[in-house]
Amino acid sequence: MDSLLLEPNLIVWLGLFAGACLGSFLNVVVYRVPRDLSVVRPASRCPHCTARIPWSQNLPILGWLYLKGRAKCCGKKILLRYFLVELFTGLMFAWACYSFIQDQEMGILIASCIFAWLMIGVVAVDSETMLIPDRFSLGGACVGFVLSMYFPSLHGIIHHPMGMEKMLGAFQSLLGILIGSGLLYWIGALASRAFGREALGEGDVKLLGCVGAFCGWKGAVFSIFGGAMIGCAFLLLVFLFQKIRPTESLLKDSLGFGVEIPFGPYLALAGMSYFFGLRTWVDPWFNWIDAISS
């Protein structure tokens, strides 16, 4: 490890490569898990004609570019999602490795890669299916809790005079799970009561528990309101695009009163924003709560 630290650029490139490869596997998970298919067997196949995809056409990032977004076996379009998932997973892993060079915290590096992988998966699968599989939300919450216990520095806990770092890390994670999912549950319940219809899905509530497990209660609370802001900004851009290009069939009827829109992707993006940079700006806003509790 010491020799690798002498080559920081190599670590970043290794992170990009590993992230792109795991992003390729994530594409398999995103397609198969909602359909209750095995993520191991059979080998990668074309979703249109079921022809087996050789490894030379299944290279992360490069494969989609080489094929120009079309399957070689049948000529059908390959979703842009495959390219974007591999690219952004690679970039997030590279950023995690770059951060590791600065602080050399192995626990944070591991947690960063796992959290990014989970959140990118949520963005992809919820955008396509309006569902968030429990393997991402509940499974992610369990993983976040365990990582918080073994690596309390994930929640900024470095040293405790009584040696209770691991217990405090687990407590912060559990607090994030309970406050995050509980707060969003009641927001959804009140909104459903006000509008007379379901406002938030159960998957969103469980997803925020996963965010809280990794980010703590402050990150979970921020994700609710940050996710709402990201969602509003994105939908406003879509709405304006519809007005400018009303003939575009892909967006023509996408917005309107009563249309269901997945909230999970925006929660996931807000959680990643907090975890990978906004924490230092967001946490001071909660200092008054810390002062009262102490």
Clarify whether residues 150 and 272 are in a common domain.
Answer: yes
Clarify whether residues 255 and 217 are in a common domain.
Answer: yes
Clarify whether residues 26 and 65 are in a common domain.
Answer: yes
The pLDDT value given to residue 118: 98
Domain termination site, one of 104, 123, 158: 104
Clarify whether residues 122 and 241 are in a common domain.
Answer: yes
Clarify whether residues 136 and 221 are in a common domain.
Answer: yes
Angle, CA of 29, 33 and 35, to the nearest 5°: 130
Clarify whether residues 189 and 94 are in a common domain.
Answer: no
Beta bridge pairs of residue 45 = 52
The pLDDT value given to residue 251: 45
pLDDT band at 60 (very low <50, low <70, confident <90, very high): very high
Clarify whether residues 278 and 290 are in a common domain.
Answer: yes
In 3-state terms the chain splits into helix, strand, coil percentages (rounded to 5) of 75, 0, 25
Q: Is 290 exposed, middle or buried (0-12, 13-18, 19+ CB in 10 A)?
A: exposed
- Alpha-helical runs (H) found in 130-258: 134-150, 165-195, 202-244
Rounded mean pLDDT, 196-204: 81
CA–CA gap between residue 202 and residue 293 (Å, rounded)? 30
CA–CA gap between residue 238 and residue 252 (Å, rounded)? 10
CA–CA gap between residue 5 and residue 97 (Å, rounded)? 10
Clarify whether residues 98 and 126 are in a common domain.
Answer: no
Clarify whether residues 230 and 181 are in a common domain.
Answer: yes
Of 119, 141, 131, which is closest to residue 274 (Cα–Cα)? Answer: 119
Rounded mean pLDDT, 151-177: 87
Rounded mean pLDDT, 280-284: 90
Instruction: Kindly list the distances between the CA atom of residue 104 and the CA atoms of 109, 141, 149, in Å, as whole numbers in the listed order.
Output: 8, 24, 18
Hey, what are 59's tokens? 């290279």
The string of pLDDT tens digits covering residues 205-254 is: 999 999 999 999 999 999 999 999 999 998 888 778 777 766 554 444 55
Domain termination site, one of 71, 104, 137: 104
The pLDDT value given to residue 247: 52
Range of the domain at 18: 1-104
Find where tokens 């490069």 sit: 62
The string of pLDDT tens digits covering residues 27-55 is: 999 999 998 888 888 888 888 787 888 87
Number of domains the chain contains: 2
